[in-house]
Amino acid sequence: MTAHDAPRPPTAGADADRLARVALTWLTEPGTRSVFRLVQRHGAVDTLALLRDGGACDNALRETVATRLTAGDPVAVATEALERADRLGARLVTPADDEWPAPVGDLRRLVLHGATRKVDRETDPPLCFWVRGAWPLAEALDRSVAVVGARAASGYGLHVGTELAYGLAERGWTVVSGGAFGVDAAAHRGALSAGGLTVAVLACGLDRPYPIGNTALFDRIADTGLLVSEWLPGAEPLRPRFLIRNRVIAAATRGSVLVEASARSGATQTLRRALAIARRAMVVPGPVTSAMSVGAHELLRENPDARLVTGLAQVLEEVGRIGSDLAPPVRGPERTRDQLDDEAATVLESLPRRGVTAVDDIAARSRVAVRTALRKLALLEALGLVVRHADGYALAAAGAARRP
């Protein structure tokens, strides 16, 4: 029996739609623009039938589908995947479900100008998600921030990623990342340490999360947060899938923070996708001598909409409600002399480091009237900056020490 002779899916109903979406994801990679638009126009069931009958709208898609059909019947594969997910304790989420994260729909307007690679052109919304964990997907992602960065992170990058994620989780934000070594893992662990919610978006099947060295971490995330993937259970973590996955991280969250990235880091692509759909894109600066800072700094140079952030308060200001999460201005420690007006500051500066100076001399040195000098000297004395003597005024010991 050929693939075209294989049993067809049911022609109507929610179950048929779900099965068809899984089959379409197996036939073509997630994000395929022509497939998504066919589904929007005809529905998943009719699109699957059309593709199986060789009716793809372009040659490349037709060849892809024909080649894939030689590997098996998409309906049978989809049915097996659903059964496998059930055994895994995972579920399928589609746009018909209440927990579908609506913001990923913004990917339909994602265009990366000058894109030549397929992974940069095929960036449409997902057809479905596989989810492991108890939280409703949309609720978990409603108030979320992505923290992403280099796999080969430095101690600095690991520290910053952990601290940012801990602070976000402590304030009720979901921390989203890709589960990789380095900054991703630090972000997940930071959120878990704070007792918060974290979501790992994978580039492979939920039953074979990558990297395998993070298996214990993935189990912890599944227990208290969510593991999410577009790929069927059993799917391998192929290199292009990480970039395909990154568009979901960018779209599902309110903003993305980049913590360290080399010149060719995939993490920078998450922020480029965020920028393209008007999400907040934030970059933590690093040492200019570090190779792990090159990609982050170049992204700041090339994109005026990317924001430099140096701590949690600035991240919250970018993604929080306007007016309620403003970061305090960065200031040095406040000094007594900061309270002085211009004339009082001038009078103070006119006093020599040592010795007592008569009031007339102070007035002349500071170029103010004697009466003004007397008023300002009284203020300076009250603030403990000068000391009055019988024949004039002198700097207080602490004031003299602070003078440059």
List phi, psi (to 5°) of 280.
Answer: -70, 130
Statement to judge: residues 107 and 47 lie in one domain: no
6, pLDDT greater than 80: no
81 against 354, higher pLDDT: 81
Statement to judge: residues 244 and 382 lie in one domain: no
Contact indicator for 345, 335 with CB cutoff of 8 Å: no
Q: Structure pTM?
A: 0.81
Average pLDDT over residues 395-402: 65
Statement to judge: residues 135 and 280 lie in one domain: yes
Statement to judge: residues 137 and 249 lie in one domain: yes
Q: How many domains does the chain have?
A: 3
Statement to judge: residues 115 and 239 lie in one domain: yes
User: Cis bond leading into 329, ω under 30°?
Assistant: no
Statement to judge: residues 131 and 9 lie in one domain: no
* Residue 303: inside a domain: yes
pLDDT one-digit tens code per residue, 281-312: 999 999 999 999 999 999 999 999 999 999 99
Determine the pLDDT at residue 353: 86
User: Residue 40: which domain range?
Assistant: 1-75
11, pLDDT greater than 60: no
Determine the pLDDT at residue 334: 65
* Residue 327: inside a domain: no
CA angle 244, 256, 198 (to 5 degrees): 85
pLDDT one-digit tens code per residue, 163-209: 999 999 999 999 999 999 999 999 999 999 999 999 999 999 999 99
Statement to judge: residues 6 and 127 lie in one domain: no
C-alpha distances (whole Å) from 150 to each of 123, 213, 303 are 22, 16, 20
Contact indicator for 235, 213 with CB cutoff of 8 Å: no
1, pLDDT greater than 50: no
Average pLDDT over residues 135-149: 98
CATH number at residue 213: 3.40.50.450
Statement to judge: residues 103 and 146 lie in one domain: yes
CA–CA separation, 201 and 336 (whole Å):
52
Statement to judge: residues 143 and 252 lie in one domain: yes
